[in-house]
Amino acid sequence: MKLTWSKRCLSPILSSSRPILPSSPLRLPASLLLPASMLLLMVALGAAGCGYHVAGKSSALPPEIHVIAVPALENATTSYRIEQRLTSATVHEFLSRTPYKVVSSPTAGDAVLKGKVVGLEAVPLLFDTTTGRATTMLVTMKCEVSLTQTSNDKVLYHTDNFVFRSEYEISTDVTSFFSEQDPALDRVAKDFAQRLVAAVVENY
């Protein structure tokens, strides 16, 4: 069936400010109706094509991996004890968002996650117009990350350029942004851990 519309037929509809309702319900031929199962399949395929995924619901790791060792991250920056915050947040993320058990000893895990913070920078973005103090910072962190299977030394994930970048409101001055007392550091560590665990487990 092919429907054609002339400009004369459309002009009353386009110029009218009142909605035009059909005098009787519109019924489509049965041959044009799709089963509900087919509609669900089309929606699922469309979502898959867009690359959507649910964090923590899929894993690219081998099925024999059950325990992941997370020793303390190394810190090659001048930020004091930043690696402790990041390690703690990473362990918490693994335990709360994945089915894996976490240990600290490399010899006790089916796989070992190693990381080194090689770059850390906080750049002021927004300032208080009265005091001139920075109120929002752009934090950029660069790390080396690897996940190795213990039984065969197979590298499951590796990058020398894992970059985390996000904006944060701060309550202190710039020089003490990475101090232990600044609550913004907890948010940085939590967001970093979420990004890291997703990258390692889902391998994307």
Per residue in 62-92, pLDDT (tens digit) is 999 999 999 999 999 988 788 999 999 999 9
User: Tell me, what's the pLDDT at 136?
Assistant: 86
What residues contact residue 52 under an 8 Å CB cut-off, 6+ apart? none
Contact of 124 with 136, CB cutoff 8 Å: yes
Q: Is 186 helix (H, G, I), strand (E, B) or coil?
A: helix
User: Tell me, what's the pLDDT at 66?
Assistant: 96
Up-side HSE of residue 147: CA atoms within 13 Å toward CB? Answer: 22
User: Tell me, what's the pLDDT at 145?
Assistant: 97
User: Tell me, what's the pLDDT at 172?
Assistant: 63
132 CB burial (10 A radius; 0-12, 13-18, 19+) = exposed
Q: Which amino acid is at 60?
A: A
Strands 134-149 and 111-127: antiparallel
Cα–Cα distance list, 102 to 67, 89, 134 (Å): 6, 12, 38
User: Tell me, what's the pLDDT at 130?
Assistant: 85
pLDDT < 50 stretches in the chain = 1-26, 28, 31-34, 36-56
**Residue 101 backbone dihedrals phi, psi, to 5 degrees:** -85, 155
Kindly state the tokens that stand for 60.
Answer: 């690219």
pTM of this structure: 0.66
User: Tell me, what's the pLDDT at 153?
Assistant: 95
Q: Is 194 helix (H, G, I), strand (E, B) or coil?
A: helix
Whole-angstrom distance, CA of residue 91 vs CA of residue 69: 9
Kindly state the tokens that stand for 123.
Answer: 């750049």
